[in-house]
Amino acid sequence: MKGKLIGVGVGPGDPELLTIKAEKVLQSVDVVCAPRSAPAKPSIALSIVKPSLDKREDVFEVLEPVFPMTEDKESLENHWDQAADMVADHLEQGRDVAFVTLGDPAIFSTFSYLQQRIGDKGFVVDMIPGITSFTGCAASAGIPLVEKDDILVVVPKVDQRLARIMEHGDTFVIMKTSRHSELLKDTIESDNRNKEIISVQNCSMENEEVHAGFTKNKKYLSTTLVKFHK
């Protein structure tokens, strides 16, 4: 019998935010796949699940393929193909593989690139949802994201599209804002509505920071929440 690939959302950072289902899979799966952004960089997702894996007394394997942070599509495709072949080798042997990913595997996750390739190879692919970074940020900030008929917009990148849709949304979640902080500030401030702005960095981790307004620190795991008041 062939193994299956399981995309496991591990939440925003705090190991205690792992779901019970995710914990069960991590306690029993044959192989854990935790990609790195560079060969010398440790996997954040793997560090989150380490307390769970440390409880195991049986033998399991950890794969750490490189998923580089680059805009070079050919390079990315090659790395995703290599990771898919690596995982497929284990699935062919009947070994289940858990791919751990920050937040939820269905939302801006590197898991999607592997999911498609493994599915195309004829293997079964499952997903276990995780707590998203932006709901974690709202909890850290102590605010509701939306109420009643509010419209929530999640933005992965700040460009001209944000300005075009801003009037139609009530709360905006802008991911990885360290990349485009000045453009974000100019775009948000161009809207004359009353607004509340909160930036969260390293959500739910030991070095978490919550700031009112826009942050100037260039930390990778930075999210800005913007609530327009009616």
Residue ranges covered by each domain of the chain? 5-128, 133-228
pLDDT at position 216? 72
How many Å from the N-terminal Cα to the C-terminal Cα in the chain?
Answer: 57
Strand partners, 98: 6, 32
pLDDT at position 177? 86
Nearest by Cα to 62 from 76, 72, 74, 52: 52
Per CATH, the homologous superfamily of domain 5-128 is Tetrapyrrole methylase, N-terminal domain (3.40.1010.10)
Specify the CATH number of the domain 133-228. 3.30.950.10
CA distance readout (Å), 195 to 120, 152, 212, 227: 46, 14, 11, 5
Residue whose pair of structure tokens reads 């692919």 in the numeric block: 125
Q: State the burial class of residue 36 (Cβ atoms within 10 Å of its Cβ: 0-12, 13-18, 19+).
A: middle
Type of residue found at 135: T
pLDDT at position 60? 98
- Compute mean pLDDT per 10 residues along the chain, 230 residues long, and list them: 97 97 98 93 96 97 92 91 97 98 96 96 98 97 96 92 94 86 88 96 95 83 92
